[in-house]
Amino acid sequence: MNRLIIKFAGVLLLLVLLIPTNLAFAAITIRPFLIDETYQPRDSEVKTITLTSDYPSRKAVLYATVNEITVDSEGEIKEFVTPVMTDRTNTVTSWVEITRGRIELMPGEKIEVPLKLKIHPYAEPGEYHVFIGFVETPKRDQAEAVAMAGKADGVIVKITIADDREDSMKISSFLIDRFVTGEDKRLIDIEVENLGDLPSAPKGEIVFYDSRGVEINSVPVNSEGVVIEPGEKASLKSSVPLDDTLGRFKANVTLNYGDKMQASLFDTTSFYMMPMNLLLMVFGSILILSIIVALLFRRMLAGEARDEDGDEVVMYIREGHDANPQDHDIDLKNKA
């Protein structure tokens, strides 16, 4: 009897030692380890994650978690970010759809869990990383806490959004008043239209030349950095910097835009500087000169008119002429 009791106690002890060992090695196998894909905005695809129960005799209950993560240069996870499901252009967790319900695995069972990736229509280019965790726990909030602590097993999903957007802009108009006569006429208006897919802030300068083609001045354009959104137009303002002077001038505008200002726009226009004070001086001088010319012309016409009417006849006697009549001369004097 004692020997039987001893054998039974030995079997119980063996079971106690073996059961924890078996449980320690029992787990859930998750495949694949990594999903690495490149997408375009609006793309969608369904991936499959395979879960296999390695438990020999009991059912496993799991919950899936979704967390954005940051990785280092070697691909190691640095940080788990609190999930944000807002549908934004740079929120990778909002692009991921996976079951939020309870996942049950019977001993030795293998199941496939669909993972749907649906990229935002205006997703910003770049690399995004998200961790799909599978935590064995009876409650979802516990699973999420385990994942945030970095203790969950799962799949790393790397999503690369290719940057196929284009920078394209054009100058719709470059306007300076044809005749700049005062301060209120010095306005320069440059209308720029964004034809591309990226917002841009074009910058540059306007260079002014005189009638001989000599550069005389310049002004910056959009130094404040006005951003033009795709499909929109903006009016960039400036002012003619030339001094009060008369003449014909040419203005050339150059605008650079795009990443590192790699593209350029050009346009040109001509105008006349005619300051009002100088115009008044010129007009006054012309008026006075016209009056003087008119007076001189009138005086000349009056002199010619008197000669034709015979009002006055001017006679001149040549020097050395003998005024005494000779025999052959006709005496016009009345004889008594």
Q: Would the pLDDT of 22 be above 80?
A: no
Residue whose pair of structure tokens reads 């409650």 in the numeric block: 139
Question: What is the set of domains in the chain, with CATH numbers?
Answer: 24-161 (2.60.40.10), 169-274 (2.70.50.60)
Q: Would the pLDDT of 115 be above 70?
A: yes
Structure confidence at residue 71 (pLDDT):
83
135-155: average pLDDT? 92
Buried b (16+ CB within 10 A) or exposed e, 144-161: bebbbeeebbbbbbbbeb
Q: Which alpha helices (H) appear in the chain, and where do they start and end?
A: 2-25, 140-148, 276-309
CA 166/CA 237 separation, integer angstroms: 26
The pTM is what? Answer: 0.51
User: What residues pair up with 239 in beta bridges, in sequence order?
Assistant: 187
pLDDT tens digits, 60-80: 999 999 999 988 776 667 677
Residue whose pair of structure tokens reads 């793309």 in the numeric block: 43
Structure confidence at residue 259 (pLDDT):
76
Residue whose pair of structure tokens reads 């994942």 in the numeric block: 147
Structure tokens given for 300: 């000349």
19-37: average pLDDT? 71
Most confident of 13-17, 26-30, 32-36, 69-73: 32-36
Residue whose pair of structure tokens reads 């105008």 in the numeric block: 271
Beta-carbon contacts of residue 137 (< 8 Å; ≥ 6 apart): 61, 62, 63, 143, 146
Report phi then psi at 307, rounded to 5: -65, -40
pLDDT tens digits, 220-261: 999 999 999 999 999 999 999 987 778 899 999 999 998 766
CA 41/CA 188 separation, integer angstroms: 40
Residue whose pair of structure tokens reads 């449980």 in the numeric block: 23
User: What residues pair up with 237 in beta bridges, in sequence order?
Assistant: 189
Structure confidence at residue 1 (pLDDT):
46
Beta-carbon contacts of residue 129 (< 8 Å; ≥ 6 apart): 68, 69, 70, 71, 92, 156, 157, 158, 159
CA 148/CA 132 separation, integer angstroms: 11
CA 232/CA 197 separation, integer angstroms: 11
pLDDT tens digits, 75-114: 667 677 766 666 778 889 889 999 999 999 999 999 999 9
Structure confidence at residue 308 (pLDDT):
57
Nearest to 133 by CA among 65, 79, 229, 208: 65
Higher pLDDT, 24 or 162: 162
